[in-house]
Structure formats: structure tokens, C-alpha cells
A and B are shown apart, each in its own frame.
Chain A
Amino acid sequence: MSNYIPTIGIEVHCELKTKTKIFSDSINGYGQMANSLTNVIDLGYPGTLPTLNKEVINLAIKAALILNCKIRPVMHFDRKNYFYPDNPKNYQITQAETPIGYDGYVEIEVDGKTKKIGIEEIHIEEDTCKSTHRGTKTLLDFNRAGVPLIEIVTKPCMESGEEAKLYLEKLKELLFYSDVSDCKMEEGSMRADANVSIRKQKSEPFRTKAEIKNIGSISNVKLSIEKEIKRQEEIYDKGESFPPQTRRFDDKLNDTVLMRVKETGNDYRYFPEPDIPYVHITQEQIEQVRKTISMLPDERRKTYQKLGISEVNAKKLVQNRALSDYLNELLEEKIDFKTAANLLLGDISAYLNKMETEITKTSLTKEKFIELTNDISNETLTSKNLKEILTTIMESEKSISEIIKEAGIQNITDNTAITEMIQKILKENQDSVVDYKNGKDRAIKYLMGQVMKESKGSLNPKMAMAILKEELNK
């Protein structure tokens, strides 16, 4: 088989995290009873007029900022005309001519190198109603009609399914961390289409492209692109060609299937939406929005590593926004962050998963967490003891020191007390002491066992072993 260079562009539709819809004040919600979140505007009744939601503009500005886009100071909306039951007013309000953001980029890491994925544009539009096909009928739910969307279009600049996957992962993380969208692909709040074509050389013009629509997960985007590249290669290798087409990814076949052949291109007859006059965006507004952007994932990972957290744990923390946000409030504290990360990702995560709860809903206040981290890092609390009292820590209002005291597992950190206890044990186990002095290694393990048993595990083992050796060698 000959080698081809694939060219891939990705379009992402992303639902904005607003309280209400883009042009009406009905609720923007998911998973509610069908047709319960609508009003006459969403249903496209004659005579109704749209009013633009301020928050939609703010969130779109935010998306443009985090994707390094230029922002258009004056924009308007356009009507895209078509007949389809998902949109009874027979046009979708979108931005064909003046997308709010343009000419941006997202950085991804490909084989250790940074690659910029160019963003062609970001435009705002309304979502259509959700149609479900059942046999000979189609069922319509208008809860989704009028939900605000942004469409993010990349330049045709990716060359593999893997790059597309990395781009989508990065995009999802950015939009999620900036609260632009909840980015739940499984609920359709983030949907991806991929445009794929291949050619022999970069000097050659682009060949025919296929568009793969509405792919439901990032891993399927990668897979469907790889399958599509292979399909096109096989066609060209046979000396054949194919018409421009729209395909979809079939979960069951694990492959792309043809949807419809694009003949003449659709005739949407776009024209400026007369019901929504111009929107001006001021520099002041942009700066206001910029202030609301919380620390983004790349910066979080960098900050965590600077504080001594391992690369693996830094990545894991960013994968869990609630934990990352929790830790971010402690960044100014003087604590051992390595221990803090281990606690959050270890015992605390295990507790949260088991109880199916979130860290902010537990009694683990910031003060308590700092106390706990310090106790663990200076070894006054062993991890074994922590396991015993963890539930109490997470569920009671008491301080860590109170909980430790009440549980009767006050760690013995007083050297004299430990020494006395060890001396007592040595006296009771003279045989083992003799064995040790005769070079039997097992004897010290036995003695150490006795020490831990006597202290009921409340000793810091390292410290106990040091004193034990000291006493034996006297």
C-alpha cells in the first residue's frame, strides 16, 4: 500500500452552561420530561421574537479567550433556512458571516512535541429539538430547542486520529475548566464531526473529503478517522475515486457508514437575522470575562509539579476537577504538597468513591486537611492509623487532634516513653536479644513485632526501629 498524508478538520458543537436558552427564558436543562422545558419562542410560534441571553455572549467570549481567538467587536446573527421537523420555524439562528471568535489555536503534545491546532472560528447558534426515530415515526422533544451552542471549527491541520483525539481531550478540558460547558459527550452536550481527506503529497491540492457526523465519544473519533483513512486509501489504491459524502460512525459495526451523498451542496440561503440587531463587544467586557477564568489545566499541572507533586499525580488531580479545585484553595499554605496529593488521590478518593460523594460535601474543612497533611508528613500519624479514623475525619466536625485522642490512638512520639517500652520488651525477651547478638537477623524482626504489638500499632515504625537498634547495640 502506498503512503498517504491524511488531512483532518474537526467541528465541535458544545452546549453552553447557561441557566436559560439562547433566545428565550425557558430553562436550559437535560434529562427532564419531554417537552417540559419550552415556551412559544422555542416552539417557533409565529409572531414570537427572540431576545438574546447576555450570558451566552459572555461564555462565547470566554471560549474565544481560552482558545486564543481574536474577538469580533461587532457581530450579528444569520438565518440558515431549511425545512426539517427539528426546527419548526424553518430556520436556525446562527452566525454565518460574523463568528464571534476567529483565528485562534489550541496546543497539544504530540510525541513530546508541542503542536498548534489552528482554530478557524467559533460561532454562536441555537440547538434544534431532539428527534428520535422509531420505525416509521419520528418523536420530537423541544427541551433541547434553543439551547445555546458554540461551534468550534479547526483548520484542516491534523494528520491522524491520534492528533484529533488529543485535540478533543484538550478542548474538552479547557471548556470544562472554564465553565463554558459541562462537555458531556454521553449526554450530547459536546458533539464532534470530523472531515477527512487524504493525498499523496502536501503540494497536491486536497482531494475529496468525507464528513463523519455526530461521533459520540473521543475514542470513537480516533477510531472512525482511522477507519475512514483506510477506506479512502483502499479506494485510491484500486485507482478509483469517491464522491463527497457524509458518513456516521456505527457503534455496532465499529466502522463508518454512508449517510447521504452531497450532491450540489445545501441551499441554506443565509441572510442577516432582522430580529436581532447588532451586538457590540467592548474591550471592557472582554476584560471582565477574562477575570472570571479560573486556573486552566496546563497551569494547574505546572503549578502542582513546582510544588513537588509528581507528574503522574499532577495529571490525576487535574482529571478530577473537584479535588483540583479543593487543592487550589490551599496553594498559599505551607504544607507538604506531595503528602497532600497522596492523601487526596489515595485514602480520601477511596472514601469519596465508596460513599459516592464530593469532597466539598464532607466535613473535611481546609483547616482539617492542613492539620491532617501536617500530621502525616511529620509522621505523627501513621497511614495505618489514618485508615482507622478516616471516616470520622470525613464525617465529624471535630478537629484531627480531637479525633486522634478520642480514638485512643495517640501516637507515641515521646522518645523516652518509647525507649522505656522497648527496654521492657527486651527484658521480657532475653533469648531473642542473645540471638540478635549472635547475628540472627530474624530476632530483630521478632522483637520489632513485639514492640508494634505492645504499642497497638500507634508507633511510627521507622522511629521505633531506630530506638530498638540503639537499645540492642548498647
Chain B
Amino acid sequence: MKDKLTKEEVLHVAHLARIKVDEEEIEKYQVELKQLLNDVDKIKEVEGYDEERMIAPWQKDTILREDEPGEMLNPKEVLKNAPKHSGNYIEVPIVISESEGA
């Protein structure tokens, strides 16, 4: 088992998190991230881990909501926390579609 991640793996994770890392940090994370992964692998050794995985700290069903409208925010309130707006729209710099939702 290797004891550290490759430099590329660290850079990939850094990119996913949109953070900049310098050479020194890369070396540090190569070791630290690998240690984290090893710890997670240890949890997986618990018997029956994969069969009954918990996705929440309790096994109860989620609580469903009736389809009834509630209170909404005034558009003015919505725009307050946006650095820029154009009319009632929130304005952001154009992003070249690198990944798209839905």
C-alpha cells in the first residue's frame, strides 16, 4: 500500500475544491489525505458495513411535507446578499460551461 497520494491526485482534489495549493502544501497533503483515506478504509472493515449502510444517523423514514405553499422572500431581500444585480436578476460573471447541472 502506498503511503501517500500522487501529486496529480492532490491537484485534482484541490481543483475540485477550487483552492490553490503551493508545492509545500502539495507534499503535506499527499501524506495527510492518504492518512484520511486509510482511516476510512478501517471503518469499512467493520462487519456488515456494505450491507446495511446508514445514510443518516437514524434509520427512520424521512418526514414528508404536504404540498402547501408557505412564505417566500421579497425579491429585494433576495438581492441584498448578491454582490451585483441587474433588475431583479442576480448578476454573476459569465461562466464558460465547464459542468452543468440538471
Contact = CB atoms under 8 A, between A and B. Distances in A.
A277 B70 contact: no
B68 A20 contact: yes
Nearest to B60: A277
B90 A135 contact: no
Interface string A122-162: 00010110001101111111100000010000000000000
Given A35-B89, A125-B102, A277-B61, A83 B67 contact: no
Q: Is the interface of B mostly helix, strand, loop or mixed?
A: loop
B66 to A, nearest CB: 6
B100 A137 contact: no
Q: Is the interface of A mostly helix, strand, loop or mixed?
A: loop
Closest 7 CB pairs of A and B: A25-B70, A272-B55, A55-B67, A139-B89, A128-B101, A34-B88, A277-B56
B57 to A, nearest CB: 8
Contact of A138 (B12, B60, B73, B92): B92
Nearest to A54: B64
A113 interface: no
Contact of A39 (B66, B73, B98): B73
Given A39-B71, A274-B56, 18 more contacts: A36-B88, A40-B73, A52-B62, A52-B63, A52-B64, A53-B64, A54-B64, A54-B67, A56-B67, A85-B92, A137-B91, A141-B88, A266-B99, A272-B55, A273-B55, A277-B58, A277-B62, A278-B56
Interface of A: 13, 18-20, 24-27, 33-40, 43, 51-57, 76, 80-87, 92, 125, 127-128, 132-133, 135-142, 149, 213, 259-260, 266-267, 269, 272-280
A269 B75 contact: no
B79 interface: yes
B87 interface: yes
A30 to B, nearest CB: 15
Interface residues of B, number: 42
Contacts of B64: 51-54, 57, 279
Given A34-B75, A36-B88, A141-B89, A53 B65 contact: yes
Contacts of B56: 274-278
Nearest to A19: B67
Nearest to A97: B55
21 contacts: A20-B69, A25-B69, A26-B70, A33-B88, A34-B87, A34-B89, A35-B88, A36-B88, A51-B64, A54-B64, A54-B66, A84-B95, A84-B99, A138-B93, A139-B86, A139-B90, A140-B92, A142-B90, A277-B59, A277-B62, A279-B61
Interface string B41-82: 000000000000101111111111111111111010011000
Nearest to B99: A82
A267 B61 CA distance: 29
Contacts of A87: 101
